[in-house]
Structure 1
Amino acid sequence: MKTVYIGSDIGTSSVKTVIYDKNFKQIDKISQKYSLISNQKNQAELDPDEVYNSVIKTLETVIQKCNNSNFKVEFISFSSALHSMIIVDENNQPLTNCLTWADTRAKDISGDFKAFYKNNSVYSRTGCPYHSIYLPAKILWFKQNKTDIFNQAEKFISIKEFIIYKLTKKYSIDYSVASGSGLLNINNKKWDNKLLSFLGIGKSQLSRLVDIYKTYKIKNTELLKGISLVVGGGDGPLANLGERALAENQFAATLGTSGAIRVFSDKPVIDAENQSIWCYLLDENTYLPGGAINNGGIVLEWIKKNFFESADDYYKLIDQYIDEVPTGSKDLFFLPFLTGERSPNWNPDARGIIFGLDYNHSKKELIKAAIEGISYRMRTIKEALEADSSTCNEIILNGGATQSKPWMQLLADIFNARVIVHENEEAVALGAAMIGAIALGIYDDYNSIEFNHKKRIVLEPDKKSAKKYNQLYKFHKKLYDNNQHLFVEANSV
Structure 2
Amino acid sequence: MYSIGLDIGTTSTKAVLFSNDNKQVDDYEVTYPLIKEKPDYAEQEPEVIVAACSKTIRELINQASINREDVRLVGISSAMHSLMVVDKNNNPLTPLITWADNRCAAFIKELKVSSLGERFYEKTGTPIHPMSWIGKIQWLRTERPQIFKQAFKFISIKEYLCKRLFGEYVVDQSLASGTGLYHLKDQKWDKEILEFIGIGVNQLSKIVPTTYELSSLTPKGQMDLSLTEKCRFIIGASDGVLANVGANAIEPGTIAVTIGTSGAVRTIANKPTTDQHMRTFCYVLTEDSWIAGGATNNGGLALQWYLAEFAKELKDIKGGQTATEQIIQEAMNVPAGSQGLLFLPFLNGERAPYWNPDARGSFLGVSMIHKRAHFARAVMEGVIYSVYSIVKGLQESIGDLEIIQASGGFARSDKWVQMLADITGKEIHLPETYHASALGAVLLAKHAIGENDLFSASKQTNNKVFTPNEGNHIRYQEMYNLYERIYQKLEDEFPVFVELQSK
Shorter-chain TM-score bucket reads: over 0.9
Residue 371 (str. 1) matches residue 380 (str. 2) = yes
Distance of aligned partners of 1:391 and 1:320 in 2 relative to their CA distance in 1, 3 Å threshold: same
SS state at 2:104 partner? helix
Q: Which residue of 2 aligns with 1:261?
A: 265
Report if aligned partners of 2:6, 2:441 keep a CA contact under 8 Å in 1.
yes
Q: Which residue of 1 aligns with 2:58?
A: 60
Mapped partners of 2:363, 2:415: distance in 1: 22
Q: Which residue of 2 aligns with 1:244?
A: 248
Report if aligned partners of 2:10, 2:79 keep a CA contact under 8 Å in 1.
yes
Mapped partners of 2:434, 2:413: distance in 1: 13
Once the 2 structures are TM-superposed, how far is the Cα of residue 472 of structure 1 from its aligned partner?
1.1
Q: Which residues in structure 2 correspond to 1:71-220 (within 5 Å)?
A: 72-109=70-107, 113-114=111-112, 118=116, 121-216=119-214, 217-219=216-218, 220=221
Residue 423 (str. 1) matches residue 432 (str. 2) = yes
Mapped partners of 2:109, 2:271: distance in 1: 34
Q: Which moved more, 1:323-332 or 1:108-117?
A: 108-117
SS state at 1:105 partner? coil
Once the 2 structures are TM-superposed, how far is the Cα of residue 64 of structure 1 from its aligned partner?
5.0
Q: Which residue of 1 aligns with 2:237?
A: 233
Residue 472 (str. 1) matches residue 472 (str. 2) = no
Once the 2 structures are TM-superposed, how far is the Cα of residue 154 of structure 1 from its aligned partner?
0.7
Residue 47 (str. 1) matches residue 50 (str. 2) = no
1:454 corresponds, among 455, 461, 475, to 461
RMSD: 1.8
Once the 2 structures are TM-superposed, how far is the Cα of residue 475 of structure 1 from its aligned partner?
0.6
Q: Which residue of 1 aligns with 2:391?
A: 382
Report if aligned partners of 1:63, 1:224 keep a CA contact under 8 Å in 2.
no
Mapped partners of 2:152, 2:67: distance in 1: 43
SS state at 2:295 partner? strand
SS state at 2:81 partner? coil
Mapped partners of 1:469, 1:111: distance in 2: 32
Report if aligned partners of 1:232, 1:435 keep a CA contact under 8 Å in 2.
yes
Q: Which residue of 2 aligns with 1:277?
A: 280
Q: Which moved more, 1:223-232 or 1:300-309?
A: 223-232
Report if aligned partners of 1:4, 1:71 keep a CA contact under 8 Å in 2.
no
Report if aligned partners of 1:66, 1:73 keep a CA contact under 8 Å in 2.
no
Once the 2 structures are TM-superposed, how far is the Cα of residue 340 of structure 1 from its aligned partner?
0.1
Residue 396 (str. 1) matches residue 400 (str. 2) = no
Mapped partners of 2:497, 2:434: distance in 1: 41
Report if aligned partners of 2:258, 2:407 keep a CA contact under 8 Å in 1.
yes
Residue 303 (str. 1) matches residue 311 (str. 2) = no
SS state at 1:344 partner? coil
Gaps of 5+ in 1: none
Gaps of 5+ in 2: 316-321
Report if aligned partners of 1:167, 1:218 keep a CA contact under 8 Å in 2.
yes
Percent identical residues: 35
Q: Which moved more, 1:131-140 or 1:221-230?
A: 221-230
Once the 2 structures are TM-superposed, how far is the Cα of residue 456 of structure 1 from its aligned partner?
1.6
Mapped partners of 1:71, 1:89: distance in 2: 35
Deviating above 6 A after TM superposition, structure 1's stretches of 4 or more consecutive aligned residues are none
Mapped partners of 1:354, 1:225: distance in 2: 53
Report if aligned partners of 1:395, 1:417 keep a CA contact under 8 Å in 2.
yes
Number of aligned residue pairs: give it. 488
Report if aligned partners of 1:322, 1:407 keep a CA contact under 8 Å in 2.
no
Q: Which moved more, 1:307-316 or 1:38-47?
A: 307-316
Deviations 1:456-487 (A, max 9, x none): 21111111111111111101100000000001
SS state at 2:492 partner? helix
Once the 2 structures are TM-superposed, how far is the Cα of residue 67 of structure 1 from its aligned partner?
7.8
Aligned residue type for 1:352: G
SS state at 2:142 partner? helix
Once the 2 structures are TM-superposed, how far is the Cα of residue 291 of structure 1 from its aligned partner?
0.5
